[in-house]
Amino acid sequence: MSLFHIKPKIYYGSDSLDILKTLEMKKVFIVTDKTMVKLGVINNITDILKERNVEIEVYSDVNPDPKDEEIIKGMLDFVSFDPDCVIALGGGSPIDACKGILYFVKKIKRAMNETEKLTFIAVPTTSGTGSEVTTYSVVTSGNKKIPLSDVEMLPDIAILNPVFTETLPPAVIGDTGMDVLTHAIEAYVSANPNLFSRTLAIGAIRTVFSDLVKNYENPSLEKERTNMQIASCMAGVAFSTSSLGINHSVAHSVGALFHKPHGRLNAVLMPKIIAFNAKNPAARKAYCEIARALDFIPKTEQEGVEILIKGIEMRNAKMGIPKRLRDLGIPKDEYFKQIDKIINDIENDMCTEYNPRKFSYAEIKELLEEVY
């Protein structure tokens, strides 16, 4: 049975925070990170809530790539505060941590025959993961990144306001923007595509190709910032229904071991993973369709693949993203010592299921050697 979800409600643009002035809420639990508090980004929300005399509790102990213990700590604070609204404010890390908190709180309450009735609002401050519109949450446990997926983790409301991405450092703009591109390309070439996901993926890819480098070079441009927020969101909806691929499986495994930014890992890996997947005829055709949607006129499908790879490499180079994992400071000895664990994690990652090319142990090992 095919299902295409349309949730959450998405308020976007520079007046989108006005929705917080109208919603019914008495106690709001905000999940965020220390940077949002330090930079005062959180004040854009708390100022409105304070004006309305809403009770607020802030949980800001979330770090990049949230760990299970950060989620457990957040659950304890959440339960003792007992809010009627929860706001996740931040990049993918605080939003995923918040989703993890809600996932486990709802499970526990259900086991006790209690229901959890609250409004869940996600406010992204990076244009990257699309977590505000996905059923996914990526949690790190030990040296493993585990993607969870459950419809219960979908926010009710997403607010995309360009004020929240004003303070992003260019390096984070580049990394997270390339994460958007990876989501959209993997959603498009997935072995489980549909017309909804493919149409949204193409919209996201075209927007990243036209606006990401401009956003990186001049973060004050509001139109490009707004467009990247929408691209991130479209790519999130796209991969939510068609799934991702091994670009993400490799990034999850290597990221959990070596703690490098998720988007940057995806960006470094993407050209070689596209070349690897393009050995599959259906994937090759799909990559060529993407090149055509970007207004290139390749003579053959293989030429389409190569044009797409070139376009990605050019954008990586302009944003200071290196070509290989070794350039990210991942130590060679440790990487090759862990290669069997990496392969095992890739095989067990839910993103691998719909990768367009199936592969043997020897083939994935060769790819991992090549990307290093």
Ligand X SMILES: NC(=O)c1ccc[n+]([C@@H]2O[C@H](COP(=O)([O-])OP(=O)(O)OC[C@H]3O[C@@H](n4cnc5c(N)ncnc54)[C@H](O)[C@@H]3O)[C@@H](O)[C@H]2O)c1
- Distance from CA of residue 17 to its chain's centroid? 22
Task: Give Rg (Cα) of the chain.
Answer: 20
349 binds Fe ion (CB under 5 A): no
Please count the residues of this chain forming the interface with Fe ion, following the rule CB under 5 A.
1
With CB under 5 to 8 Å by kind, the binding choice for 193 among ligand X, Fe ion, none is none
Alpha helices in the chain (DSSP H): 34-38, 43-51, 68-81, 92-111, 170-189, 195-217, 222-242, 246-258, 262-277, 281-293, 301-318, 332-337, 339-348, 361-371
Nearest distance from C-beta of residue 170 to ligand X, angstroms:
11
Cβ pair 17, 46 in contact under 8 A: no
Nearest distance from C-beta of residue 55 to ligand X, angstroms:
25
33 binds Fe ion (CB under 5 A): no
Residue type, 366: E
Judged by CB under 5 A, the stretch of 136-144, 177-185, 200-208, 344-352 that binds Fe ion is 177-185
With CB under 5 to 8 Å by kind, the binding choice for 54 among ligand X, Fe ion, none is none
93 binds ligand X (CB under 6 A): yes
- For residue 152, the surrounding DSSP H or E stretch is none
**Cα dihedral angle (356, 361, 365, 368), rounded to 10 degrees?**
30
92 binds ligand X (CB under 6 A): yes
Which of 161, 176, 207, 355 is in the footprint of ligand X by CB under 6 A?
Answer: 176
With CB under 5 to 8 Å by kind, the binding choice for 245 among ligand X, Fe ion, none is none
70 binds Fe ion (CB under 5 A): no
DSSP letters spanning 49-98: HHHTT-EEEEE-B--SS-BHHHHHHHHHHHHHH--SEEEEEESHHHHHHH
Nearer to ligand X, 172 or 181 (CB): 172
179 binds Fe ion (CB under 5 A): yes
301 binds ligand X (CB under 6 A): no
Round to whole Å and give the CA distance between 165 and 225. 7
With CB under 5 to 8 Å by kind, the binding choice for 247 among ligand X, Fe ion, none is none
Cβ–Cβ contacts within 10 Å for residue 81, how many? Answer: 15
Pair of tokens at residue 200: 């949204």
Nearest distance from C-beta of residue 143 to ligand X, angstroms:
14
165 binds ligand X (CB under 6 A): yes
164 binds ligand X (CB under 6 A): yes
Pair of tokens at residue 298: 């390749």
Nearest distance from C-beta of residue 64 to Fe ion, angstroms:
13
In order of 173, 211, 214, the CA distances from 223 in angstroms are 15, 9, 10
The conformation of residue 298, written as its DSSP 8-state character, comes to -
Pair of tokens at residue 137: 């949450």
With CB under 5 to 8 Å by kind, the binding choice for 315 among Fe ion, ligand X, none is none
Nearest distance from C-beta of residue 33 to Fe ion, angstroms:
18
Which of 16, 44, 46, 131 is in the footprint of ligand X by CB under 6 A?
Answer: 131
Which of 90, 100, 219, 245 is in the footprint of ligand X by CB under 6 A?
Answer: 90
Nearest 5 degrees, angle CA 320-CA 323-CA 327?
A: 80
Q: Specify which residues 123 forms β-bridges with.
A: 89
Q: Is the peptide bond before 8 cis (omega within 30 degrees of 0)?
A: yes
64 binds ligand X (CB under 6 A): yes
Nearer to ligand X, 161 or 280 (CB): 161
262 binds ligand X (CB under 6 A): yes
96 binds ligand X (CB under 6 A): yes
Please count the residues of this chain forming the interface with ligand X, following the rule CB under 6 A.
30
Round to whole Å and give the CA distance between 251 and 266. 6
263 binds ligand X (CB under 6 A): yes
Nearest distance from C-beta of residue 186 to Fe ion, angstroms:
9
Binding site for ligand X (CB under 6 A): 33, 35, 39, 41, 64-65, 90-93, 96, 125-126, 128-131, 134, 136-138, 164-165, 167-168, 172, 176, 179, 262-263
Name the residues that contact Fe ion, by CB under 5 A. Answer: 179
